[in-house]
Structure 1
Amino acid sequence: MTELMEQRHIHPQSGTAFKLKSGQVLRVIDPMGEQVSDLMAYSEADLDEYLSSGRTIDYANTIYVTSGHTLYSNRSNPMFTILQDQVGRHDFLLTPCSPETFKIIYNNHAHHPSCFTNLAQHLAPYGIAPDRIPTTFNIFMNVKIADNGELTIAPPLSKAGQYIELRAEMDMIVGVTACSAEMSNNYSFKPIDIQIYD
């Protein structure tokens, strides 16, 4: 990683999408702290190959992937290697928040921005339909699991300026958000910054 090729500022409750080449490094930064970022990725060569939480958790033998772990596709091919993780707690269990999330969990039937909608909007120009968006890698999201399996969404552990670096292991189309769910972000919506290095 030597040269900064691109950087983007993702405004609160919004998202972006871009191409990432094999060998490039994606740095996802929490500039203000306690802000989740949902990430989804697809093989540029075949959109039917995509980032898989199930495969990744299976091969890592942990739900808490961090530095040194590989994130796998649904075809068991490496998509990312986590090079550096300054936070150490992310979620790979829960789907991106959607309009239905806010109706069912928050009892909010008014319009509400969501990661699913933001990903769908920004991935659409690359030919990726909404039904192709599965469980995302929820960077900085802090999900606690009780002995009985009950989940608690706690404030992210990320502090201002902390980041995770992921090296691309194939050419990909990547979507990234600044999460829109109140509980996930300790009830305050903030931006996410990304940087791409060669």
Structure 2
Amino acid sequence: MIEIPAQTGVAFTLRPGQRLRVRDPEGLQVSDLFCFNRTDPGEWLSSGRSVDYADTLLLTTGHALYSNRSRVMLRIVEDEVGRHDFLMTPCSLAMFRLVAGNEEWHPSCHENLAKSLAPFGISPDQISTTFNIFMNVVFEPSGRLHIEPPLSRVGQSILFQAEMELLVGLTACSHEETNAGRCKPITYELLDP
């Protein structure tokens, strides 16, 4: 297992058939995932298409994550938590300013994804809505959204299988509120078929 320290991110590649396990080693920690077609960065992860084709906001075992071109990028093979978010964009410096009223610099998932993906030629503007692993966003009948503590417990994980050549960005989320008040590490491993 490879550790992503609290409030940081990484980027790596996946081959078709290769699996990615993301684990919450301490519990109550979110991890933001975004990916691109490794050979064509004009194809990227699409929240809208994934939710549309699954007919649910709560993607879990058996669901696929689709690209903006309606092709499967990842499949969820195993899910020990069953509650993730695909509505919220990655936390950003702008979000901390606009929503939290924080005018000082704060680590953010968007910045960590941008830094990690930059060596692969990805610009910050190419990073869109992330699949927020373990994030617990509650949606009320009125349409109002609010963030509750993650449901993930110590050691729980989610397992994905790549369906194309992928470039993946992954974080240990930087937003204290999202992570029950304290940011913690995330671990991941790449498993060959």
* Length-normalised TM-score, structure 1: 0.96
Alignment of 1:8-27 (within 5 A): 8-27=2-21
Determine the structure 2 residue equivalent to 1:44.
38
Aligned to 1:174, which of 159, 165, 168? 168
Superposed displacement of residue 79, structure 1: 0.4
SS of the counterpart of 2:44?
coil
Instruction: Select the residue among 53, 64, 72 that pairs with 1:70.
Output: 64
- Does residue 95 (structure 1) correspond to residue 116 (structure 2)? The answer is no
Question: Which residue number in structure 2 is paired with residue 82 of structure 1?
Answer: 76
SS at match of 1:97: coil
Cα offset, 1:45, TM superposition: 1.3
What residue number does 2:146 align with?
A: 152
Q: Which runs of 4+ in 1 moved over 3 A?
A: none
Aligned position for 1:107: 101
* Structure-1 separation of matches of 2:95 and 2:174: 11
Among 121, 132, 151, the residue aligned to 1:127: 121
Q: 2:179 is matched with which residue?
A: 185
What TM-score do you get using the length of structure 2 for normalisation? 0.99
1:172 is displaced (CA, Å) by 0.5
| Amino acid in structure 1 at the alignment position of 2:110 | F
Unpaired segments of 5 or more residues in structure 2?
none
Aligned-pair CA distance for 1:190: 0.2
Deviations 1:67-89 (A, max 9, x none): 00011000000001100000000
* AA matched with 1:15: G
From 110, 130, 142, the equivalent of 1:136 is: 130
Unaligned runs of at least 5 residues, structure 1: 1-6
Letter of the 1:130 counterpart: P
CA distance in 2, matches of 1:21, 1:129: 22
Shift of 1:114: 0.1
The residue type equivalent to 1:196 in the other structure is L
